[in-house]
Amino acid sequence: MKNLSVRFERWLVWLSVLALSTACAARADLAARGPVPAASPSSAATATPTRAPTATPEPTATASPTASATPTATASPTATPEPTATPTPGPTPDGVVREIHAPILMYHYVSQPPADADIYRRDLSVTPAQLDAHLAYLQEAGYTVVTLDDLLYALALGRPLPEKAVSLTFDDGYEDNYINAFPILKKRGVAATFFIVTDWVNASRTGYMTWPQIEEMAAAGQRFGAHSRDHPSLAGQSVDYLVWQALGAKEAIEEHLGYHPRWVAYPAGRYDERAIAVFASAHYWGGLTTQQGATHTLADIFEWKRVRVRGSYTAEDLARLLELAW
């Protein structure tokens, strides 16, 4: 029964993506004959040449042998656990078109990089003291940390946001997020969303959080989203492979945390319209990119931009960055 249930869910996602792919093909055919107005988030996605990652590469994407590997046809989707939670439907928009400005900060490592760290590792690493100083500045400057869900409800239903709203995200699921970031977040009384690579949790790969650590953080109010199963590029992949990534990550989080992850952060910022269609059909609420920006709408819910926090940033640097983003 478990395998039957999982196969049925994958079949439903396949049907949804097939319908979306047919529509995309029709738009592509029309595009060859003339311009197509951007009528949906996915339409806008195809017109955006910045789908490639930002100038600073994601170190984990190159570190993982699976990051550039071509997916094999023998990967078995039924090996993933059966979902244990019913996805919570996203809010039904009230029909009012809105735009909000709320920086979504993007962190990675929270530790002192090793002495032999390359430029990418150093750029993606803030020390615990830096993170604490960043959060202290946010509180002193009148910012209020909100969740990604809060941003969505503000857009869909007009729920009020604090005057200076900001959201915190951490990519990749490094163990120093538990050891160093988690105590600081608790001390400051704020919650972040951690995007985890589910096949790297409890694996032989060192330096990543374990499920007991993640469960402890979730019980304390921290949020978790999907960063795929094994951190590949999600651009140019087959529907089968994307379904395996989207549902595999979702099912792992459901099994351990008891809820369906609502948000995906695309590994290294690499994705395309097909990836958006698959994650939308798998009942994710939205997706985050590595593109720089702080203004969000419902139309680009699967392409929300973020503000990258670099390893060299002091609290003063963050203040200047947010002033520019605002």
Banded model confidence at residue 155, pLDDT cuts 50, 70, 90:
very high
Digit-coded pLDDT (tens) for 105-138? 999 999 999 999 999 999 999 999 999 999 999 9
Sequence-separated (6 or more) residues with CB below 8 Å from residue 252 = 80, 81, 198, 199, 201, 229
pTM: 0.77
Q: What is the pLDDT of residue 45?
A: 35
Q: What is the mean pLDDT of residues 184-213?
A: 96
The domain limits of the chain are 2-67+96-325
Q: What is the pLDDT of residue 104?
A: 99
String of DSSP letters for 277-316: HHHHHTT--EEEEEEE--EE-STTTTSEEEEE--TT--HH
The least confident of 79-88, 202-211, 218-227 is: 79-88
The domain over range 2-67+96-325 is classified in CATH as 1.20.5.510: no
Q: What is the mean pLDDT of residues 212-241?
A: 99
Percentage of residues in the chain having pLDDT higher than 90: 70
